[in-house]
Amino acid sequence: MNKILKLWNLIKSKFLYLLLILSVIPRLLYANKLYPADMIFIVLVIVQFILTYMQFNTMKYSKKKALIFLAFCMALSVILLLLNSNNNFILFYYFFILDNVFEFDSRETRRALIFCHMSGFMLYLLVDNILINKIPFYTDVSSYVFCSFVYIMVLFVYICIHEYRYEMNNLKMLNCSLIDYSFKEREHLVLNERNRISQELHDSLGHSLMALSMNVKYIKAIKDREKINHEINELESLISKSIQSLRETVYNLRKLDENFSLHNEITSIISKFNKLNIIKITLNYDNNIEKSSIAIKNILISTIKESITNSLKHGNSAKIFISIKLIRNTIKLIIKDNGDGCSCIIKSEGLAGIENRFKTFNGTINFITSPNKGFTITASIPEVIIDDKSNDS
């Protein structure tokens, strides 16, 4: 079902353009002479074509403008139907454009547009039968009932399809929120572990330094040489214990970083999203990236998380490709999805945050997109900071 909806969203605009083109072909090819009414009809179809294009083009970045263009499209469709009531292509266009009503998030807006669309259809039936074809209303009630039934059935199908889509989107957002929560929970656990180690360092080293300070003051006060030597030995022992405690703490912090595998972390993220069965993520990974510093690894992780979340929330993506390579001491990151894309990139807080993190390490980042062509992030960090694995002296 999701694949069918995605395919329909991909071809919908082209299909509507085709219906408009087909609506004027008979007049152009088979008419011996173009009358003023024919010329008016063709001009209005051209205007309708432009309005339809503008409606699709503005939907991504301005719902208000798209709403205005859609309202004009519906009104002009009724006029075209009245000018040529036998043109089935315009009638099909009018019914298929009803699908665009459900692109708006507000239920009140959708209800108002459906009411206008239904009113336009009923107005067309009444004017065409009573005023143009001179058929009294009471003699053709059954046709009105049948047309109303067909309209309600079409509307019911649209509602069912889009309610399914809304539920799937809500489920997708809920799953994304749960996964995002699990990411934050892990970060919180790591932070707590660092805070615990830091507190141990503060407590043990702080206590030792205080004891050293008191012993030094005591040595200054005593005169007995033997006692001085004894206290110096105590100082050496205390200093040795402090150094050992400091080494153990540094080792624990380093071990915490060394246990962090970028590949395992990314694989874990991908696995969580793939299990949802709403997106397929593939990874191309260079193991040499593991040599980079924990700071760079964290930048890559946060960028990947933000990119996947954006692809699901805003791009309606079904596939994401992630590539991380180390080329001549430069990390190259590519994240590409097959989502809706857009004609204009508005840098949200998330995208701005990604850009700032790369700039911190003299990196570069580019965002590439176009309508129905997906969204691509290409980034690089020119200098790889290698962790120092040497032992403390």
DSSP 169-215: HHHHHHHHHHHHHHHHHHHHHHHHHHHHHHHHHHHHHHHHHHHHHHH
In angstroms, what CA-CA distances link 202 with 95, 195, 196, 275, 291? 72, 10, 10, 43, 30
The percentage of residues in the chain with a pLDDT greater than 90, rounded to a whole number, is 17
Beta bridge partners of 327: 330
pLDDT at 389: 44
32-62: per-residue pLDDT in tens? 777 788 888 889 999 999 999 998 888 767 7
- DSSP class per residue in 206-222: HHHHHHHHHHHHHHHH-
Residue 257 confidence (pLDDT) above 80 = no
Residue 94 confidence (pLDDT) above 80 = yes
Query: What are the boundaries of each domain within the chain?
Result: 2-139, 262-386
In the numeric block, which tokens belong to residue 118? 């239904």
* Lowest-confidence region among 13-22, 190-199, 236-245: 190-199
Residues 263, 300: contact at Cβ < 8 Å?
no
Q: What is the CATH number of domain 262-386?
A: 3.30.565.10
pLDDT at 166: 77
pLDDT at 390: 39
SS3 labels along 335-360: EEECCCCCCCCCCCHHHHHHHHHHHH
3-state secondary structure of 129: helix
- Answer yes or no: pTM beyond 0.85: no
Beta bridge partners of 368: 376
Kind and range of the H or E run holding 387: none
Sign of the CA dihedral running 124, 127, 129, 132: negative
pLDDT at 104: 86
**Phi and psi torsions of 284, nearest 5°:** -115, 110
Among candidate residues 315, 305, 309, the one with its CA nearest the CA of residue 368: 315
**Phi and psi torsions of 89, nearest 5°:** -65, -40
Residues 27, 44: contact at Cβ < 8 Å?
no
Confidence of residue 96 (pLDDT cuts 50, 70, 90): very high
Residue 85 confidence (pLDDT) above 70 = yes
pLDDT at 118: 92
Mean pLDDT of the chain: 79
Q: How far apart are CA 322 and CA 337, in angstroms?
A: 9
Q: How far apart are CA 249 and CA 171, in angstroms?
A: 44
Q: What is the mean pLDDT of residues 129-140?
A: 76
pLDDT at 31: 65
pLDDT at 393: 40
